Structure 1
């Protein structure tokens, strides 16, 4: 079976360092990492270092849905790579890469620089079918929207 790749991007008004750190700080992460309106966060545990593991217990309709993985690369402030396993991947490891690329600010007409902008690109590999692509596309899009909202 051909593995599939999902790519989601979001331009966010924040500098790359702040965005990068929001992915690795438990308290901050718990505030913005929501994949949909009906989804909540029960608990988050993370050991943000290569080889370190994380566990995100999401809630839906009173059920706890564990999402877990292992950090592979942590390259501040450019890139985080981790495995991702959940009910939505049929409990198989997949691979997620999140990159943070600074978008050069332009000067406004009054000569002041605009707020820093960062393009956050999330690539999710090793997905097995269209259902997994659709579920994760919606989830990751909502998560990046949550990050954007939290940063504003």
Structure 2
């Protein structure tokens, strides 16, 4: 994995629910099915939520299955989740996603940092919007 990155896509989102519930929504396959890729058609979610475990999120785009895969590097419930992110059939490039969650008086604040591979740095804004849409869908699903 190339860990050098030119650009990070960063999204900060505030939830009115506990950090435990938000964290669990990131690793529970049934919950992920409800919020991941809200503008697409999610077909399948497989999650082995342990350090060294992997995930596969498959969505349907223009009749083609896109398999987003990664490996969990850090699982520190309910504060931090770190994993790799890539689409192996499309590119061997891999990114790293870091999710930090802190409790607040009214719920929690999630900061998602997607460390983009240098070849994908032009897509930072688009990546931020995609994650923001997914976090909004998660919020709707959990409330």
Q: Note whether the superposition's TM-score is higher than 0.5.
A: yes
Unaligned runs of 5+ in 2: none
1:122 counterpart residue number: 112
1:63, distance to aligned residue in structure 2 (A): 1.1
Classify the secondary structure of the residue corresponding to 2:34.
helix
Question: Which of structure 1's runs of 4+ aligned residues deviate more than 4 A?
Answer: none
2:15 counterpart residue number: 12
CA contact (8 A) 1:84 1:93 kept: yes
How far apart, in 2, do the equivalents of 1:56 and 1:144 lie?
Answer: 16
Classify the secondary structure of the residue corresponding to 1:23.
helix
1:145 counterpart residue number: 136
Describe the superposition over 1:53-99 as per-residue Cα deviations: whole angstroms up to 9, x where unpaired: 11100111211111000000000010000000027x84411100011
TM-score (norm 1): 0.83
Of 73-82 and 136-145, deviating more is: 136-145
Larger radius of gyration: 1
1:109 counterpart residue number: none
Please show how residues 10-89 of structure 1 align to structure 2 within 5 Å.
10-34=13-37, 36-37=38-39, 39-86=40-87
CA contact (8 A) 1:30 1:41 kept: yes
Give the CA RMSD over aligned residues: 1.8
How far apart, in 1, do the equivalents of 2:41 and 2:122 lie?
Answer: 22
1:136 counterpart residue number: 127
1:132, distance to aligned residue in structure 2 (A): 2.3
CA contact (8 A) 1:127 1:133 kept: no
TM-score (norm 2): 0.88
CA contact (8 A) 1:69 1:85 kept: yes
